[in-house]
Structure 1
Amino acid sequence: MRAVEFQEYGAPEVLRVVQAEIPEPGPGQVTIDAAFVGVNFADVKARAEGYRVQSLPFRPGLEVSGRVRAVGEGVEGLVRGQEVAALVGGGAYAEVVVADAVTVFPLPAGLDLRTAAALPTVVPTAHALLHEVGRLRAGETVLVHGAAGGIGTVAGQLARAAGAGAVYGVTSSPAKAEYALKHGYDELFTADTFADGVRRATGGRGVDLVLDPVGGDTLHRGLDALAVFGRLVSFGNASGAEPWQVGQPELYAQGRSVGGFSILALAQSAPEALRALAERAFAKVTDGTVNLPITAEFPLTEAAEAHRLMGGRTSTGKLLLRVAD
């Protein structure tokens, strides 16, 4: 089978198409004949910086859609030929992908394989950030960093559907701001000016909820943009800054709080909770609440081009690799 991997860290050119043995599922696993693979910023960081890479060579890819090829010992509820989407710890850039059955999700009726490839990370993450961790209530205000990305696009739609009083976003360019305005956002700010923009837009009050994948100085300025009793949810460290620390001086005086979320960590520590979250999140797609933002598609053999687009920070929505014709 064909797969894409890298043997050294570096630019997109280090991604190579290789021939590999077709894997077999172990106990509690299935193999999937891949149709589409989602491209995530975590894949770019793995290639460029070694993020979550245990050893080289490494095959990136966290989410895949396709049909079950084979079922391992002890697996129930999944059968050969069944259309599924799966969250994996890595290795999805391949024609055949191994996945733990607990993070393999049968597709809801009416959901096609192309759309399904954007499900495993984006929609459950956005849902958790707003609801399970962020505890958004109707009428509250939200600020989302990366508003034009995959998670940001879904978060804007979910916040609007939940009755948010206002949904603000942060983007890096006017083109991205224009895109985000079509997906649930009321007003967009730049990374340099969002704190002042929030204070102006809210009459000095601040927002009730901030969703931050950036970390570093952006996170600390996000705390300053919170209203009394506001919450900030961290779900990444795209800035590459040193791990942040928040304590009594930042939180106690106005009753603010900080939470965190990682869908990969949840998959490892509480897979049944992930399954329940995924079911709630996927329902928002099948009932039409969320329109999944697939904006670019590349053949598997052109994974480097997908990484180049995402790494250039000009992409919007969700990027996919097409594996099967």
Structure 2
Amino acid sequence: MRAVEFQEYGGPEVLRPVTAELPEPGPGQVSIDVAYTGVNFVDLKARAEGYRVPALPHVPGVEVSGRVRALGAGVTGLAVGQEVMALPPSGAYAEVVVAEATAVFPVPAGLDLRTAATLPAVLPTAYALVHTVGRLQPGESVLVQGAAGGIGTAVGQLARAAGAGAVYGVVSSAAKAAHAKSHGYDEVFVGGFREPVRDATGGRGLDLVLDPVGGDTLRAGLASLAVFGRLVSFGNASGAEPWSVGPPELSPHGVSVSGFSILSLAAEAPDALRRLAQQAFARAADGTVTLPVTAEFALADAAEAHRLLGGRSSTGKLLLRVAD
């Protein structure tokens, strides 16, 4: 089968098309003939830094849509040929991928495989950030870093649907600001945000901050919280040292900090993943959330997709087209 792998860490140029052996599902697993693969920042971190890479060579990718090829022993509730979307731990840049059955979901009625490929990692993450971990209440304010990306695009729509009093975003360019404003955001700040947030909230601060950046950006978000505010860290795009906070930062205003990773949840709490995913996918099926595909590449052109995403100029969702 065709696949794209890297044999060393580095820039997009280390991604190479290869011919690989067909993977077979083990007990509790499902193999999938891939139609589309989502391109995510975690793929770039795997390629550049070895994030979640057990060994080299490595086929990246954690988000696919396609059709069930084969079922491993003990798998029920799915059928060969059924249209599904899945969250494999890796290996999605290929014509066939194997995933745990607990991370394979039927495509909701009314959605095609192209749309379905935008959902498995992004939408449950966004739903958890707004509802499950972030616990956003009607009337509260929320600020989202990376508001024009896939997760940010979904969060803006979910927060608006949840009755947020104000939805603020942070992006790196005016073009990204325009994209975010068309997907649920009231105001979008380009670059720095502490002073604009203070002005926008009348000095009160924010009820909820969602941060995939880490480092100084996370600390600025923490300092921007209102009394009893919450911050959710869901990534470390800055590459900074892991954050740590304690009573000096939290106690004076009763704020809290939590973390979230959809891949860790899939590995450690698959039942919780399924409950979360079902709630999240319902928001796509009923039209609450739409994730625009802004760029699509052939599988062999995965390096170009990484260049676009890594250049921080993209908006919405990027896909690899795997099936002809």
Both proteins in one fold, TM over 0.5? yes
Which amino acid counterpart does residue 142 of structure 1 have in structure 2?
A: V
Instruction: Report the alpha carbon displacement of residue 153 of structure 1 after superposing the two structures with TM.
Output: 0.3
Q: 1:111 & 1:173 partners in 2: Cα distance?
A: 31
Instruction: Report the alpha carbon displacement of residue 293 of structure 1 after superposing the two structures with TM.
Output: 2.3
Instruction: Report the alpha carbon displacement of residue 244 of structure 1 after superposing the two structures with TM.
Output: 0.7
Q: 1:279 & 1:51 partners in 2: Cα distance?
A: 27
Q: Which residue of 2 aligns with 1:27?
A: 27
Q: Which residue of 2 aligns with 1:155?
A: 155
Report 1:133-282 matches (<5 A).
133-191=133-191, 193-282=192-281
Q: 1:130 & 1:149 partners in 2: Cα distance?
A: 16
Q: Which residue of 1 aligns with 2:87?
A: 87
Instruction: Report the alpha carbon displacement of residue 100 of structure 1 after superposing the two structures with TM.
Output: 0.6
Instruction: Report the alpha carbon displacement of residue 279 of structure 1 after superposing the two structures with TM.
Output: 0.4
Q: Which residue of 1 aligns with 2:312?
A: 313
- List structure 1 segments (4+ residues) > 4 angstroms apart after TM superposition: none
SS of corresponding position for 1:78: coil
Q: Does 1:126 align with 2:131?
A: no
Aligned-residue Cα RMSD (Å) equals 0.7
Q: 2:131 & 2:258 partners in 1: Cα distance?
A: 12
Instruction: Report the alpha carbon displacement of residue 106 of structure 1 after superposing the two structures with TM.
Output: 0.8
Q: 1:272 & 1:294 partners in 2: Cα distance?
A: 29
Instruction: Report the alpha carbon displacement of residue 182 of structure 1 after superposing the two structures with TM.
Output: 0.4
Q: Which residue of 2 aligns with 1:100?
A: 100
Q: 1:304 & 1:198 partners in 2: Cα distance?
A: 37
Q: 1:30 & 1:242 partners in 2: Cα distance?
A: 37
Structure 1: give runs of 5+ residues left out of the alignment.
none
SS of corresponding position for 1:228: strand
Instruction: Report the alpha carbon displacement of residue 51 of structure 1 after superposing the two structures with TM.
Output: 1.2
Instruction: Report the alpha carbon displacement of residue 85 of structure 1 after superposing the two structures with TM.
Output: 0.2
| Superimposed CA distance per residue, residues 226-278 of structure 1 (whole angstroms, 9 cap, x where no aligned partner) | 11110000000000000111011111011100011000111111101100100
Q: 1:168 & 1:252 partners in 2: Cα distance?
A: 25
Instruction: Report the alpha carbon displacement of residue 21 of structure 1 after superposing the two structures with TM.
Output: 1.1
Q: 1:228 & 1:30 partners in 2: Cα distance?
A: 47
Which amino acid counterpart does residue 316 of structure 2 have in structure 1?
A: G
SS of corresponding position for 2:121: helix
Q: Does 1:53 align with 2:53?
A: yes
Which amino acid counterpart does residue 231 of structure 1 have in structure 2?
A: R
Please give the TM-score of this superposition, normalised by the length of structure 1: 0.99
Instruction: Report the alpha carbon displacement of residue 190 of structure 1 after superposing the two structures with TM.
Output: 2.6
Q: 1:116 & 1:205 partners in 2: Cα distance?
A: 39
Residue-pair matches, total: 324
Structure 2: give runs of 5+ residues left out of the alignment.
none
Q: 1:264 & 1:134 partners in 2: Cα distance?
A: 18
Q: 1:233 & 1:80 partners in 2: Cα distance?
A: 39
Q: 1:270 & 1:293 partners in 2: Cα distance?
A: 29
Which amino acid counterpart does residue 116 of structure 1 have in structure 2?
A: A
SS of corresponding position for 1:120: coil
Instruction: Report the alpha carbon displacement of residue 10 of structure 1 after superposing the two structures with TM.
Output: 1.1
Q: 2:21 & 2:236 partners in 1: Cα distance?
A: 35
Which amino acid counterpart does residue 52 of structure 2 have in structure 1?
A: R
